[in-house]
Amino acid sequence: MPSRQRSFWNLALTFAAVYLPLALGGTLLAVFGLAVEASMAVSGMLLFSTLALFSILVAAYVFSRRVDDNVDAASDVLWQVSTGEFEGRIPAEQRFLIEPLAESVDKMQEYLRTRFAELQAHRNQLRTVLDSMAEGVIAVDSGQRVILLNDAACRLFRLQHASAVGRPLWELVRSPNLQQWVAEALGSSEPVGGEMELLAPMSRMLSVRAAGLPGDPAGGAIVVASDISQLRRLESVRQEFVANASHELKTPLASIKACIETLLDGAIDDVDVRVRFLQTVSEQSDRLDRLVRDLLSLTRIESEGMQTDLHPVPLGAIVSVCHERHRQNAERKQMRLVTEPPPEPMVVLGDEEALEQILDNLIDNAIKYTNEGGSVTIRWKEQDGGCLLEVEDTGIGIPQTHLPRIFERFYRVDRARSRELGGTGLGLSIVKHLVQALGGTISVNSRLGTGTLFAVQLGRP
């Protein structure tokens, strides 16, 4: 080997070069070179490699921690979203390397916030509609467990809203009919139901309809129940009223027809028989007239269109008119018809025609059911800021068992005696409705064989 070549390789082995590139943004700007002795180069390279590796590890750790913190910030925001909080946002300084994710989270929060607000509004509207319904609504799942009910259902079935949700319907309402209807609704596409009676805490009649929710199989059912107790009671009252009115009309009509047929068969030629039969016809005609008048009066009072003109009325003047009107009837039975006015004249809030009709019925009944030699007393006085009007007699009295029903239409304690005296069975019912129309109350106190006291509480202007 030539001496020049040996000198080069000796020099190469003696010295080594270290080159450090300088780059920025992926562009090579310069290269720094450092020539050192070979033995020193080996040691330097090891040190440099160690320092470079340590720097890389430190940089990687710092970088990973920053990314982890940013991911944790995103996780915190997503956790808030899962709990229903949509106002949190990922901070700007923690969006490094996750900016697309952060923007997606922001859009998702805004969408969910809008949707949740709409759902909450719809839920509130649905709850308002359900709670304003007179019908009870209960929603159950496929296992007949209550998932929703409104206030009316709580009232109808005597349930507590908080404790009812999640429990089986058959456990809350002990009704085989209701359980059967719900089971049928879960397996059928057609509504089912009928009428059922609840005995506790009081007897009520309910109309129930059950329908399955959409799905195959149905995921639940809706039960709608309405209280028809009042409707059934009104139907019963109407039927009873028609039966009683027909009976009351039939009796005098039958008497009139019998008398006329007898007269036409030849009894008209007998003066005594003719007079007696014509008197019977006249009496029964009067009875029919009273009955029709009372029916018309009761219908007018019970009608929704009745308007009572309440204004100050001197009660003493009304009592005087009624007293004079019934004085002769009392004298025929040798009875005392007495008035006991208060020390000072009293004015009540009422209507002259209604007050006269109230007093006429009460006084007429008192005279009818008081034996000869008895007395009927009319008194009025101030009480509890109002006026208490009383009609008291010393008559035959009313048994205690009959007192709760004496204001019902056509109700009579002694039917035979009532018809004999010409009563229609509607007088006290008319009185009660008139007193209520005047904003007052009426009560009765009676003892059998001692007498009866009717008390009417009226307002004052």
Residue pair 378/340 in contact by the 8 Å Cβ criterion? yes
Structure tokens at 107: 């859009």
CATH 3.30.450.20 in the chain is located at 133-227
Question: Which fold, 133-227?
Answer: Beta-Lactamase (3.30.450)
- Alpha-carbon span 453 to 377, nearest angstrom: 9
Per-residue pLDDT tens digits for 342-384: 888 889 988 888 898 889 889 988 888 888 889 999 999 988 8
Q: Is the pLDDT of residue 41 over 60?
A: no
Residue pair 78/104 in contact by the 8 Å Cβ criterion? no
Classify domain 232-302 at the CATH class level.
Answer: mainly alpha
Share of the chain above pLDDT 90, in %: 9
Helices (H), 303-446: 315-332, 352-368, 415-420, 427-437
- Nearest by Cα to 360 from 392, 323, 315, 406: 323
Residue pair 443/455 in contact by the 8 Å Cβ criterion? yes
275 CB-contact burial (10 Å; exposed 0-12 / middle 13-18 / buried 19+): exposed
Per-residue pLDDT tens digits for 87-120: 677 776 667 666 777 777 778 777 877 888 888 8
- Alpha-carbon span 441 to 264, nearest angstrom: 52
Confidence of residue 391 (pLDDT cuts 50, 70, 90): very high
Share of the chain above pLDDT 70, in %: 80
In this prediction the pTM is: 0.51
CATH 1.10.287.130 in the chain is located at 232-302
Per-residue pLDDT tens digits for 145-204: 998 888 888 888 888 877 888 898 888 888 888 888 988 888 887 889 888 888 766 778
What is the residue-averaged pLDDT of the chain? 78
Only one residue has tokens 């039958």, namely 254
DSSP 381: E
Residue pair 361/420 in contact by the 8 Å Cβ criterion? no
CATH 3.30.565.10 in the chain is located at 311-458
Over the range 217-239, which residues count as b (16 or more CB within 10 Å of their CB) and which as e?
Answer: ebebbbbbbbbeeeeeeeeeeee
Q: Which pLDDT belongs to residue 122?
A: 84
Right CATH for 311-458 from 1.10.3720.10, 3.30.70.890, 3.30.565.10, 3.40.190.10: 3.30.565.10
What does residue 344 show for φ and ψ, rounded to 5 degrees? -115, 145
